[in-house]
Structure 1
Amino acid sequence: MTSVHLQSFPAAHPPAIPQVPQLGLPWALAEAQTFHLQGVGRLARAERAAAKQCAQQDAPAYLAAESARLAAVCSQLAGEAQQWWQALVTNDEGTVCEAVNTAFSDNPAAGCAVGVDGSVLSVVMRQQDLDSLPTQTAGLTPSGRPTLKNLTKRDRLLWWLTAMGSNVVATLKEGFATAPGITAIDLAVLTRLPGTQRLGFVAYGRWTRQAIEGTPWRNAEDALRFLDIGQDVACSVTTTASGNLSSTIKPLDTTRVTGLQELLDHAQDEPDAGEPSLADLDISLGASSRPDGGNPVVDPYRIKSFAEWRQETCSAPPPMPSAPPADPTALVPGQTLVLPEEAWDGLHIAFGFAGADADLTLFLTRDDGRVAGDEDFVFYNQPSAADGAARLLGKRPEGPHTVERATVHLSALPEQIRRVAIAVNMDVDRGLTCGSLTSAALHMTCMTGATWTFQPPTDPSIRAMVVAELYRHTVDGRPAWKLRAIGQGWADGLDGLARAYGVDVD
């Protein structure tokens, strides 16, 4: 409560646009063959040969079209990013307030940017109520035994004032870090007043970037310096002639600052009044806020399927549907099977789960079980590898579960890629383990509708797990791909998993 001002906040910088996924002809050919072979029987040799010939003709045009479209998307994103950055550094009000409020959204004392005037930002902060603080503190008896001691009114008030100062300074530091064109912040602090439980302003003032960035912040007591380094600072907690803190908190006169009384008049005192209110800023913007359940973020580099491209360019009817798929094949740990050739041109992977968040990752390895380079590690910051042959497709809620999808074109993988490890990892910083997952299941489907499922163990001792593995093999003298269910992992999470496959995690 009294040390958040000791944090440092990274300075804003121009947005970095992710690179366009690299696509290759083997990937495009696999996509085209998957499309053209749908509905063609395995024994219809002439039809299959004709379908493959059509795929070879279409694949270069499909590859060129998707590469050009993605390059155009990248160019558009770069232009939009430049416009946004220019608006931020020139203090466009909407851009600055949105950026600052996003930065404030996880603060323990909720802050809200409400306007920009030139290079001055206005912020309202919701401080924890004094009545919510404990009235006792840990202590020792004369004989050294632990006990609870009652806090005096002034000690409790000093605690509350230090916490307020700490949050004020942290809010100012984060505001300046987020908005590089802002030179000063007008900040006013709201809280519920003791006794009446009515909202009131208990501190306000103006603090310059120079004052905040030029002041050393070394310990909790430094938080009280916010009273001395600001301009026209007013605070409900005052110092008496004898040097002691006042024992009561009274609302400040809002007529001294234009707009404060109007803001207070329109504030709802009850958080359940049916309208957004300043009284529940700490709920709507604080660390306890929950996702609003809105639409998931769309991947700007989503690759159009061959079917989408063909329909747009050729207006061709969709292929005939294949026969209804057989029942899924459930696998047990250690079980292996040979994948049909139809799975080589497109194996769709879906990892569904509930209970906690997890991330799907892929490792494309050589015979020694290690990646040739970090570019063969597919994860949320690098969602594509091998010119598109292995790709994450994103994560989204589906009913009561979350599902993250991926696709692997085995026939498009370079010859040196001998294995593909399909893994999941938990958020180590939050202390989550695979035991936090419920209803976890891996589903793999190929173009014929054949599906394989595996429910990995939810082991509370591990934080990253290889769920399954695809690997090259030889069956009856012919090349093949096999699938193995595994369900084993590492206690130290993604770092340990990545190191085991030769990824540099430094």
Structure 2
Amino acid sequence: MGLPWALAEAQTFHLQGVGRLARTERAAAKQRAQQDAPAYLAAETARLHAARERMASEAEQWWQALLANDEDTVCEAVNTAFSDNPAAGCAVGMDGTALSVVMRQQDLDSMPTQTHGLTPSGRPTLKSLTKRDRILWWLTAMGSNIIATLKEGFATAPGITAIDLAVMTRLPDTQRLGFVAYGRWSRQAIESTPWRDPEDALRFLDIGQDVTCSITTTASGNLSSTVKPLDTTRVPGLQDLLDHAQDEPDTGDLSLAALNITLGANTPPDDRTTISDPYRITPFTEWKHGSVSEPPPAPIVPPATPTVLVPGQTLVLPEEAWQGLRIVFRFARADADLTLFLIGGDGRVAGDEDFVFYNQPATADGAARLLGKQQEGPHTVERATIHLSALPERVRRVAVAINMDVETGLTCGSLTHAALDMDCVTGAAWTFEPPADPNIRAMVIAELYRHTADGHPVWKLRALGQGWADGLDGLARAYGVDVE
């Protein structure tokens, strides 16, 4: 943030409802903006600095609690880490430096009954798996999930030295939940064991302490062909859970069925949940109303039906758009990043500071800023703001571009429902759907540029939709950004 940005915000506020031809009123409004801008900038700078200090203090307190094995802190951190695991795990408590975890393993009945093979003539076919083949497949999958859960738990909570883990699944014979493996595994055992091949997953049986598994090896060296529940009386708490839980999902009481649902759901975050952003910039209107008692400004006009642009079309932006132009890029199916280039009269950026992208989301003065990317229903949405009146005079054009990740091999043709929307405080709005070109990986969707009309300076908008096959590297080089 800088003074030009603060001045642009203040002018947007004070010029609302003032006609373009009311020169005396406009001059007075701009004078008020010049008086308010330094105080607004100072207040926001102090507030953001205080927010950062508060968050740093909270983060340090949280880290110290995690290192000290505070039970609530450790369980919350570990369960957050477990939330995207294919085998749902749940940290349920601490005993000294040992963490207790319950893991929900995939049911044996859900495993495939056939696998690929070849006929005697070499043609592909499907062959039925024997009971013991299915058991081995299931046991290997369970071992893989156990090792992954243990490694993630140790990586998340650096203060724990061991994990007591119990594995729950639905038993084939009774269709009731039961425990099929449990034991204690130390950090040293997990971190010192090499994990390279799928067969290594079965080492969980050998490197733990007091490991018990319902799948055993018979006297002939074969795996047992049935999955039976373990005796839980050896482990305090497991038998109590089985004794008092009802395996009926419709009862109002806590049940193993409910635990099954809870542990296996991996419910994604609710897109409607509002997440507080401590670094959200306080709009000038909020700051002004909070610091000065005065009549509210004229109401903001809601966005009108946007003007649909076609490639090559240009138009003059209203003066109100200079004070704050909102940009929204929405798309689906693939991923893309919004990028801004502040370009001089020579067609190049003056320096890397005029290149706004995901690793540098704002210019030093805050005149151009990326606001982040989020999911809104089926679409991904990335927003940005540009204060044209706050841009240095050397900036003659602003290129609004997108780029794909070259390593994915995807192109702009992979995007669906892609559109660039712009609007300003007056409600004026414009939209442009860029071409889904399968031959390019970076594209300038639109361009903002200075112009002179009737002897007066103006800013114009041009819809483009032109790009580069080599992605962000080619796009950046075209505007003079050094790409290492």
- Tell me the TM-score normalized by structure 1: 0.85
Match 2:432 to one of 445, 454, 470: 454
Question: What is the aligned partner in structure 1 of residue 419 from structure 2?
Answer: 441
| Residue 127 in structure 1 maps to residue 108 in structure 2 | no
Which residue does 1:413 correspond to in 2? 391
Give secondary structure in 2 for the equivalent of 1:364. Answer: strand
Is the 1:111–1:126 Cα contact (8 Å) retained in structure 2? yes
Question: Does structure 1 residue 228 correspond to structure 2 residue 206?
Answer: yes
Correspondence 1:113 to 2:94: no
Q: What secondary structure is seen at the aligned counterpart in 1 of 2:323? A: coil
Hey, what does 1:337 align to over in structure 2?
315
Structure 1 residue 66 corresponds to structure 2 residue 44? yes
The separation in 2 between residues aligned to 1:113 and 1:324, in whole angstroms, is 48
Paired position in structure 1 for 2:258: 277
Partner of 2:448: 470
Per-residue deviation, 1:340: 3.1
Change (3 A) 1:478 1:193: same
Kept in 2: contact 1:302–1:393 (CA 8 A): no
Sort the Cα spacing of 1:488 and 1:54 in 2 relative to 1 into closer, same or farther, 3 A: same
Contact 1:89/1:181 (<8 A) preserved: yes
Superposition map of 1:34-433 within 5 A: 34-265=12-243, 269=247, 277-281=258-262, 283-285=264-266, 289-321=267-299, 328-353=306-331, 359-367=337-345, 369-379=347-357, 382-394=360-372, 403-424=381-402
The separation in 2 between residues aligned to 1:369 and 1:268, in whole angstroms, is 71
Q: How far apart, in 1, do the equivalents of 2:90 and 2:154 lie?
A: 14
Kindly tell me the number of residue pairs found equivalent between the two proteins: 481
Matched AA of 2:356: V
Structure 2 equivalent of residue 15 of structure 1? none
Secondary structure of the corresponding residue to residue 188 of structure 1: strand
Structure 1 residues 106, 460: closer, same or farther in 2, change over 3 A?
Answer: farther
Read off the aligned partner of 1:319 and give its amino acid letter: P
Contact 2:307 2:431 in 1 (8 A): yes
1:124 CA drift (Å): 0.9
Change beyond 3 A, Cα 1:327–1:199: closer
Cα distance in 2 between the residues matched to 1:79 and 1:369? 45
How far did 1:148 drift? 1.8
SS at structure 2 position matched to 1:217? coil
Higher mean C-alpha displacement, 264-273 vs 405-414: 264-273
Change (3 A) 1:131 1:440: same
CA RMSD of aligned residues (A): 3.0
Cα distance, 1:399 vs. partner? 7.8
Between 1:357-366 and 1:443-452, the stretch displaced more is 357-366
Amino acid at match of 2:202: L
Is the contact between residue 39 and residue 323 of structure 1 (CA under 8 Å) also seen in structure 2?
no
Partner of 2:459: 481
* Contact in 1 for aligned 2:271/2:375 (Cα 8 Å): no
Pair 499,119 (structure 1): closer, same or farther in 2 beyond 3 Å? farther
CA gap of 1:372–1:234, structure 2 versus 1, over 3 A, is: farther
- Specify the SS of the correspondent of 2:184: strand
Change (3 A) 1:77 1:475: same
Give the Cα separation in 2 of the matches to 1:271 and 1:493: 52
Change in 2 beyond 3 A, CA 1:42/1:326 = farther
The whole-number CA distance in structure 2 between the counterparts of 1:334 and 1:470 is: 12
Q: Distance in 1 between matches of 2:369 and 2:468?
A: 23
Could you say if the C-alpha distance between residues 189 and 72 of structure 1 is closer, same or farther in structure 2, counting changes exceeding 3 Å?
A: same
The 2-side partners of 1:395 and 1:298 are apart by: 15
Change (3 A) 1:236 1:348: same
SS at structure 2 position matched to 1:99: helix
With over 3 angstroms needed to count, the CA separation of the structure-2 counterparts of 1:91 and 1:59, relative to structure 1, is: same
- Higher normalized contact order (CA 8 Å, seq sep 6+, divided by chain length): 1
- Cα distance in 2 between the residues matched to 1:188 and 1:306: 55
Q: Is the 8 A contact 1:100 1:178 kept in 2?
A: yes
| Offset at residue 40 of structure 1 (A) | 0.8
Gaps in structure 1 of 5+ consecutive residues: 1-22
Q: Distance in 1 between matches of 2:215 and 2:411?
A: 46
Q: State the secondary structure of the residue aligned to 1:172.
A: helix
1:319, CA displacement in angstroms?
2.0
Give the residue type in structure 2 aligned to 1:177: A
Q: Any conservation in 1 of the 2:5–2:367 contact (CA below 8 Å)? A: yes
The 5-angstrom pairing of residues 8-19 of structure 1 reads none
Q: What whole-Å deviation, never above 9, does each CA across 1:258-303 have from its counterpart, x for those lacking one?
A: 0112333455646677878222245322xxx433234232321111
**Shift in CA distance, 179/143, structure 1 to aligned 2, threshold 3 Å:** same
CA contact (8 A) 2:93 2:99 kept: yes
**Aligned in 2, Cα 1:175/1:400: closer, same or farther, shift over 3 Å?**
closer
**Residues 145 and 229 from structure 1, CA distance in 2 versus in 1: closer, same or farther, beyond 3 angstroms?**
same
Deviations 1:47-102 (A, max 9, x none): 11111111111111111111111111111111111111111111111111111111
Kept in 2, the 8 Å contact 1:299–1:394? The answer is: no
1:41 is displaced (CA, Å) by: 0.8
Q: Distance in 2 between matches of 1:324 and 1:252?
A: 65
Q: Residues of 2 paired with 1:487 and 1:305: CA distance?
A: 32
Residues 122 and 429 (structure 1 numbering): CA distance in 2 closer, same or farther, change over 3 Å?
farther
For 2:3, the equivalent position in structure 1 comes to 25
Q: Is the 8 A contact 2:301 2:425 kept in 1?
A: no
Secondary structure of the corresponding residue to residue 288 of structure 2: helix
CA distance in 2: counterparts of 1:214 and 1:150, whole angstroms: 38
Residue 283 and residue 305 in structure 1: after superposition, are their counterparts in 2 closer, same or farther (change >3 A)? same
C-alpha contact 1:296 1:396 (8 A) present in aligned 2: no
**TM superposition shift of 1:36:** 0.9
- Structure 2 distance, partners of 1:111, 1:269, is 19
CA contact (8 A) 1:350 1:406 kept: yes
Counterpart contact for 2:104–2:264, Cα < 8 Å: no
